[in-house]
Amino acid sequence: MSEQAIGVFDSGLGGLTAVKELIKVLPQENIIYFGDTARVPYGNRSEVTINRYARQDANFLLSKGVKLIIAACGTVSSVAAGLPEYLPVPFTGVVAPTAAAAVSSTRNGKIGIIGTSATVNSGSYKKEILRRNDRITVYQQDCPLFVSLVENGFISENDEIVKLVVERYLSEMKHNNIDTLILGCTHFPIIAKAISNFLGNHVRLIDSGRETALFAANILGSSGLLNTSNHIGQCSYFVSDTVESFRKTAEIFLGKSVEDEVAHINIEQVAVQ
């Protein structure tokens, strides 16, 4: 079972930042990624809909025989709390490992959280932080336009549109003197330089993709599921919309071409049990 793939899903493309970190942390592991590009974004959907989508996405990955499932989606991790009990394989979202890293990072006890509207409204990161340390002050801000910027290629730290949107969303965080900021959506690391430029180098940005990759490595190690071969793992990508647009944008996230590794599926045909 150790040579079976890690399954990763996201509402669209943002989860590719987690895949990029998984490749760095666990280069020998095979990875199967599903991006629900036909139904993105999840962040403005109802809780019922998000849960149904999450189960369909997970069921697709299970059909591929994966040994671990990662919901590389802040929205699913925040809203679909019952998903782990539903799955026959180990599971992690992004909330717990990211919150733990933020609590360890802060020096002044002021942590900021940015994410989609659904993620912020769920309060999941805040609850997890305060569960670990109830003396921390938490500031939250939903940043829905960040997703649109990234998926449309507006990612340069020098782009005036990017700088304006960052300032609009994060001015209050800066005023409140946070020293740690959770990037609570896997799209957000793509514009991390612009965020850091605005907030200052003294603010540590917590990349949910990176922290989740490290946490996944611990899960596999403790479960005896690490792939111990000396071969570099293979990655396969599946999407629910056109593969052409995914290929182009995936290069931005991964820094490499995925030309021959992407296939289309009809996610609506996957049963929800």
The token pair that represents 63 in the structure block: 């059909």
Residue after which a domain boundary falls, among 208, 235, 261:
208
Q: The domain that contains 157 carries what CATH number? A: 3.40.50.1860
Q: Beta strand 110-115 with 180-183: parallel, antiparallel or unpaired?
A: parallel
Tens of pLDDT, residue by residue over 136-184, are 999 999 999 998 898 788 999 999 999 999 999 999 999 999 999 999 9
Which pLDDT tens digit goes with each residue over 189-214?
989 999 999 999 999 999 999 999 99
Query: From CA 92, how far away is CA 211, in angstroms rounded?
Result: 11
Is residue 194 located within the same domain as residue 254? no
Instruction: Clarify whether 235 is annotated catalytic.
Output: no
Catalytic residue (choose from 31, 83, 149, 185): 185
How many domains are contained in the chain? 2
Catalytic-residue membership of 73: yes
**Confidence band, pLDDT 50/70/90 cuts, at residue 97:** very high
21 Cβ contact list (under 8 Å, min separation 6): 207, 209, 210, 212, 213, 214
Question: Is 34 within a domain?
Answer: yes
**Starting from the edge strand earliest in sequence, which strands make up the sheet with 110-115, in order?**
137-142, 110-115, 180-183, 204-207
At 273 the pLDDT is 65
Same domain, 201 and 111: yes
Residues 113 and 31 in one domain: no
Q: Are residues 82 and 143 in the same domain?
A: no
What pLDDT sits at residue 223? 93
Residue 99 lies in a domain: yes
In a domain? residue 1: no
The verdict on 191 and 217 lying in the same domain is: no
Q: Which domain holds residue 117?
A: 95-208
Write down the catalytic residue from 22, 69, 73, 258: 73
Phi, psi (5° rounding) for residue 10? -150, 165
Query: 155, 178, 208: which is the final residue of a domain?
Result: 208
First to last CA, the chain: 24
